[in-house]
Structure 1
Amino acid sequence: MDADWHNEPTDYRQLGKLPRSQGPMEAARLGPLSITSASVDEDLLELPWHIALEEWPVQNLAALPRGISRHVVRFAHMGGSVVAVKETTEHVARHEYHMLRKLQRLNAPCVEPVAVIAGRRNAAGEELKPALVTRHLRFSMPYRAVFSQTLRRATLTRLIDAQALLLVRLHLLGFYWGDVSLSNTLFRRDAGAFAAYLVDAETGELYPELSTGQREYDLEIGRVNIAGELMDLMAGGVVEETVDPVATSERIFNSYRNLWAELTEMESFEFGQRWRVNARIRRLNELGFDVEEYSIKTAPGESLVQLQPKVVDAGHHQRRLLRLTGIDVQENQARRLLNDLDAYRADTGPQQDEQISAHNWVKHLFEPIVKAIPRELSGKLEPAEVVHQVLEHRWYISEAQHRNVPLAEAVQAYIDDVLRHRRDEAAIVLDPGSGGPGLADYDDAG
């Protein structure tokens, strides 16, 4: 249950703590705040809620790239973390807060809600807009930050495929988004691809199950919005001229429908082809989904068997890697690391217990790579992505040099030739003259 502070308006003095920037007299004039939060976090009170968000002092703000929003949005330092603060109406803020809470309980890929701040007033006693606070997703980027000088067609394809997968996962949970767009999504690198996260749920609703019409309407919204976003990028000269915004946005239809069909459609086959049950499940596993239940129907006097997946759950490779190693990463990263783990086991002892082999792989491969990264470069990429890229780099230089390059040599070559030249994705500083990333090397995923 949420710590619902707004039942009793909370004065700073009642918590026995004043914001560092405010003295007792000024805090008293500001009046109480109404805060709804899953937990009491006094660091919330350090933020200048008595000031309109667009006027917040620079010392409170974190310089991270923002997507396009109809609301005023700022990133701010809160304790040892970074949060996103959005000014909106109280009804919308509370709806989105509780919707994100529900999605998190369903293990949906979305940002974490922190609090709703209402009852805000400035020093003159004038009302300020309520605010929704969410936790910043580390190593994530809005789509506008995923470019260098020109956004390549291949990168657009990966972004839209990630968007389609996100929409499928949300629809399987019964979530109607209502505002599908690249702007309402954050992207994280995922072993040559991207993983997409919902960042704006203010128009969303949860249902026991979505109708075909609801799903199709979400798709149509996404098609129109993405086409407009790509046209905007083309006008800014950051998309290849050969890209067709409309045709590219329509890819979400094909990608979504192919995946949805694989996950949900009934399949018929001859009774003697029962091997197709396992083949269907393997295909779903390869897509990153687990089948927890399925229905098989046969009709009297007929030789046809009908297979219907009943419950599909994303994160097949993530769960296996987490179970074996305790490492929690993106799905494609997990797939790539599991491939290396399986190869390591084959080389070092195929008969060895899988859990023991996984422990040795972490000890002798994963951890040495992570620990070899200099502290000043540790914010360039998240650890799992670094390990993935080191393994890829080792393969490439081994092929080029026609020898098996030792791991330590490959790590050093990657650090010197690749990692030192990347931008820091843990904290991407904005170019103050442009309002967006001033330099970038984002467009190299894969």
Structure 2
Amino acid sequence: MSPMELQITATSPEHPAALLDLPWSVPLVDWPQEHLVALPRGISRHVVRFARAGDEVVAVKEVGEWAAVREYGLLRDLDRLAVPAVDPVAVVTGRTDERGEPLEPVLITRHLNGSLPYRSMFETTMRPSTIKRLLDALAVLLVRLHLSGFAWGDCSLSNTLFRRDAGAYAAYLVDAETGQIQPGLSDGQREYDIEIARVNIAGELMDLEAGGSLHPSVDPVEFGVAIEERYCDLWHELTRQSVYPLAKRHYIDRRIRRLNELGFDVAEMQIQRTPDGDAVTFLPKVVDAGHHQRQLLRLTGMDAEENQARGLLNDLETWMVTQEDYAPEDSAPNSGPGSGRGSSLGARPEVLAHRWVREVYRPTVRAVPREVRGDTDTAQIYLELLEHRWLMSERAERDVGLEAAVEDYVNTILRHRPESRPPAES
């Protein structure tokens, strides 16, 4: 029998050279500390270690050759589909120990900076509201996978990494071993994934409960059911057909409001011109407290309350996608206004944001006479005008525009407020 030869199949030409220095003739469980990086690991059916390869930290998992090659291919497909998942680096086969005995092949993925497995996040008792946001992030991930035609087969907290990025919570697939990609998923395939997620999550939370790491007010079964409900609500809002006539652009605001009511924000919005109107698609995300304030301040220099900032950013995003130099094709997961991304052919988000302040926000606020504003700050005035415009547009069944909304709001609402009336003569 001829000796096995070490073979490294990598995604980049630079990876094999960096990987060659790792001790492939040693079983992964026995790798010396000099090659390892101390990072928290989740629960896995396989031996997993974090190691340094050149300038990168990688996760190395021992697994059968067929499974390693298959998962490597699936992760590459998910990367091409821009679905949040760990990046594949290489598959190493033909490993033998010093006596020539075969060792299991390994799958190598890039460590996701700033990410944590769920058990590490529960080392200190997590508040129910934070657990809910994490499960919301997992629901977003599952929806995005299904929209891409990926059936997970083993959705769980253990197979997910969570990361906070500028206040946003994001979930990333870390184990694609049981998955498969198809042109589209049937309702039955999606329902199977949801059922697996519900059972797995309830079981994992029960395990935390038994170890004293779960907040006493959290019911594992209820939270397992909750992710199913959140998934279904989000799937409906994101997949129902949305083609709006040009005269009824206010319908876009209605969709955004519905997503906000579900607890999600719009990370990315794409409008595609069609013969029948404007087709709109949304990409959701889960955000932490204060996220919108920081984002608005970074983009425009405006300082507003959190709910005010959310409304202003929604209006900014709606306006941005109507601009000729807006470049949505360069957007990525979790990119939206303030991500810093922008196509070389389009204006940066910061440039568009300042144009919105100069051409939309300030002229609209200045159109409201000072004597009728009272003590209301300008951000609140603008948001009230947006709300009035939306109500007028709903009644008219067409977008009435800001100019008409300002005139009507000043004459029918602001001039009749007590603080807008001149003091009575004594």
TM-score, normalised relative to structure 2: 0.64
1:340 aligns with 2:297: yes
List gaps (5 residues or longer) in structure 2: 305-315, 317-324, 327-346, 355-426
Shift of 1:145: 1.1
* Distance change (3 Å), C-alpha of 1:201 and 1:243: same
Shift of 1:149: 2.9
1:312 aligns with 2:269: no
Conserved? CA contact 1:140–1:188, under 8 Å: yes
Shift of 1:36: 1.1
Shift of 1:63: 0.4
Shift of 1:193: 4.6
> Greater RCO between the two (CA within 8 Å, min separation 6)?
1
Match for 1:74 among 11, 34, 49? 49
* Distance change (3 Å), C-alpha of 1:55 and 1:295: same
Give matches, 1:242-253, under 5 Å: 242-253=217-228
- Helix, strand or coil: the match of 2:301? helix
Match of 1:37 in 2: 10
Return the alpha-carbon distance in structure 2 between the equivalents of residues 218 and 88 of structure 1.
Answer: 23
Percent identity over paired residues: 49
Deviations for 1:369-389, whole angstroms, at most 9, x for unmatched residues?
xxxxxxxxxxxxxxxxxxxxx
Give matches, 1:260-339, under 5 Å: 260-266=235-241, 274-280=248-254, 282-283=256-257, 286-293=265-272, 312=281, 314=283, 337-339=294-296
* Distance change (3 Å), C-alpha of 1:104 and 1:76: same
Shift of 1:312: 3.3
Shift of 1:291: 3.4
Conserved? CA contact 2:161–2:174, under 8 Å: yes
- Helix, strand or coil: the match of 1:243? coil
Return the alpha-carbon distance in structure 2 between the equivalents of residues 295 and 218 of structure 1.
Answer: 34
Deviations for 1:301-342, whole angstroms, at most 9, x for unmatched residues?
xxxxxx996x7363799xxxxxxxxxxxx9999855441134
Q: 1:35 corresponds to which letter in structure 2?
A: I
Match of 1:9 in 2: none
Shift of 1:288: 2.1
Shift of 1:240: 1.4
Conserved? CA contact 2:5–2:94, under 8 Å: yes
List gaps (5 residues or longer) in structure 1: 1-28, 298-306, 318-329, 363-446
Match of 1:167 in 2: 142
Shift of 1:207: 1.2
Q: 2:116 corresponds to which letter in structure 1?
A: M
1:215 aligns with 2:194: no
* Distance change (3 Å), C-alpha of 1:185 and 1:356: closer
Shift of 1:343: 4.0
Conserved? CA contact 1:188–1:196, under 8 Å: yes
Conserved? CA contact 1:292–1:313, under 8 Å: no
Match of 1:14 in 2: none
* Distance change (3 Å), C-alpha of 1:205 and 1:296: farther
- Pairwise CA RMSD of aligned residues? 3.7
1:226 aligns with 2:205: no
Conserved? CA contact 1:264–1:308, under 8 Å: no
Deviates most, 124-133 or 151-160: 151-160
1:358 aligns with 2:353: no
Deviations for 1:179-238, whole angstroms, at most 9, x for unmatched residues?
100111111114445211111111111111111111111110000111111111111111
Conserved? CA contact 1:120–1:129, under 8 Å: yes
Return the alpha-carbon distance in structure 2 between the equivalents of residues 358 and 268 of structure 1.
Answer: 29
Conserved? CA contact 2:161–2:173, under 8 Å: yes
Conserved? CA contact 2:125–2:214, under 8 Å: yes
Return the alpha-carbon distance in structure 2 between the equivalents of residues 343 and 315 of structure 1.
Answer: 22
1:158 aligns with 2:158: no
TM-score, normalised relative to structure 1: 0.61
- Helix, strand or coil: the match of 1:239? coil
Deviates most, 109-118 or 153-162: 153-162
Return the alpha-carbon distance in structure 1 between the equivalents of residues 118 and 7 of structure 2.
Answer: 34
Q: 1:256 corresponds to which letter in structure 2?
A: Y
Give matches, 1:126-165, under 5 Å: 126-165=101-140
Larger Rg: 2
- Helix, strand or coil: the match of 2:281? strand
Return the alpha-carbon distance in structure 2 between the equivalents of residues 148 and 278 of structure 1.
Answer: 41
1:86 aligns with 2:41: no
* Distance change (3 Å), C-alpha of 1:359 and 1:290: closer
Conserved? CA contact 1:111–1:135, under 8 Å: yes
Conserved? CA contact 1:120–1:128, under 8 Å: yes
* Distance change (3 Å), C-alpha of 1:125 and 1:151: same
Return the alpha-carbon distance in structure 2 between the equivalents of residues 202 and 120 of structure 1.
Answer: 21
